[in-house]
Amino acid sequence: MDDIPISVLFGAIFVLILFSAFFSSSETAMIALNRYRLRHLVKEGKRSAIVSEKLLERPDRLIGLILLGNNLVNFIAASIATLIGIRLLGDLGVALAPFVLLAVFLIFAEVMPKTLAAIKPETIAFPASYILAPLMKFAYPAVWLINGISNSLLSLIGLNLKEQEDIPLSREELRTIVHEAGTLIPKRHQGMLINILELENVTVDDIMVPRNEVAAINLDDPINEIIDQISHSQHTRLPVYESNADNMIGVLHLRRMTRILNDKNELTKETLKGIMMECYFVPKGTPLHTQMMNFQQYKRRFGIVVDEYGVIQGLVTIEDILEEIVGEFTTDMQAYNLDIQEQDDNYYLIDCSVHLREINRQLKWELPAEGPKTLNGLLLERLEYIPEAGTTLKIDNYLVEITQVSKNSVKMARLKCLEVSLETPED
């Protein structure tokens, strides 16, 4: 070894630093790869992604290969550094060589390459996979032996690598990914994706038109009143009942009435029964994502919500569910805003039959919506009696002033969101 020029030894150290940097950056980059993006690139046929995914199928073998190469390089470099130290400084060189080598390798073969790989994992991992794949075949016996011993020791503490599988993303994790997508997903589309994830937490009770607000045809009414109701209806489908609202016998699609309305003499109650569709009943408490699939399966757009005793609670439509995803798309925004009116003093005058979810969504508030579904229900739950007009109460961070009541419900109320003070009061 004394015959080897000192310049050659320094050259060998430089090459070994490059090898060590390669193994260090490869390890960080391969582990830092986004697995979901990697699968997407594999489906698109990107060859480097396919090779990388193949290597990551057994991460224990990949790590074993990289550490085998990295440690081999580092030990060889340590030996050469010792020789250089002896040649230059004698015994002092032997003492200084580990510290000098540590500083050089730590900066140029560990910190810098791994930092770069963590920031740009695909840039490092994909080209490196073309080198690691043949190295894996060449060094497989050594890697197999190392991993065999390592995995056997891990099994002693109850860890079986064969049972380790990819853990699917939870809804909360997927929601975080959507929020952090930034400009990759437009803001409106982010909101729609989040709303789709929320469908499982929302039931038909939350969005249905309550029973007392359902516009329906009573076949016991005179035919002239029925014709007038149909002619002035703002809805395309009207439920039909006899005697009382719990005796629903069908749903009338007004599109089928066009020809008959031209000749009102032909319109009889028997004619209405002949063109009615059969009622489609929806159990109370059905999650929205389930009901959407049911609407699709049964080719329906309109359902009547009933409780466990068969008592009608309200009605729900496919449009109501779609609005939970894409937001309001009614053509009459003026009518839509009548239920929630902004006033000059930062209060909002709100019809208490409005759903709490609708108030929260429109005003960006956080009124409690876990129990009662409407503002009237929330006020009665908190007060536990029918209040008088002028009653004021505080619900969480919202001040409520009741302005109009009836015998059995609260009709109108003024609400204001109180400012939350973030300042700590001084002693």
The answer to whether residue 258 scores a pLDDT higher than 60 is: yes
**Range with the poorest average pLDDT among 157-171, 193-207, 244-258, 363-377:** 157-171
How many other β-carbons are positioned within 10 Å of the β-carbon of residue 305?
26
Q: Encode pLDDT of 15-54 as tens digits.
A: 999 999 999 999 999 999 988 888 889 999 899 999 999 9
Residue written as token pair 């894996």: 136
Domain 333-417: which CATH number of 3.30.70.20, 3.30.465.10, 3.20.20.70, 3.40.1160.10: 3.30.465.10
The residues with which 77 forms a beta bridge, in sequence order, are none
What is the percent of the chain with per-residue pLDDT over 70, rounded to a whole number? 90
Tokens of 246: 């719990």
Higher pLDDT, residue 349 or 187: 349
Give the mean pLDDT of 389-401. 91
The answer to whether residue 423 scores a pLDDT higher than 60 is: no
Q: Encode pLDDT of 110-123 as tens digits.
A: 999 999 999 999 99
Report how far residue 110's alpha carbon sits from residue 106's, in angstroms, rounded to the nearest whole number: 5
The answer to whether residue 236 scores a pLDDT higher than 50 is: yes
CB 68 within 8 A of CB 139: yes
Q: Is CATH 3.40.50.300 the classification given to domain 202-326?
A: no
What are the structural domain ranges in the chain?
A: 6-163, 202-326, 333-417
Residue 1's pLDDT is: 53
Residue 427's pLDDT is: 38
Report how far residue 280's alpha carbon sits from residue 284's, in angstroms, rounded to the nearest whole number: 13
Give the pLDDT band (50/70/90) at residue 165. low
- Report helix, strand and coil shares of the chain as percent, to nearest 5: 60, 15, 30
Give the mean pLDDT of 379-406. 90
Residue 337's pLDDT is: 53
* Spatial strand order in the sheet of 392-395: 340-342, 348-351, 410-417, 398-405, 392-395
Tokens of 374: 């409407």
Report how far residue 413's alpha carbon sits from residue 352's, in angstroms, rounded to the nearest whole number: 7
CA–CA distances in Å: residue 424 to residues 359, 388, 396, 398, 417: 31, 37, 20, 21, 20
Give the mean pLDDT of 142-156. 83
At position 32, the amino acid (one-letter code) is A
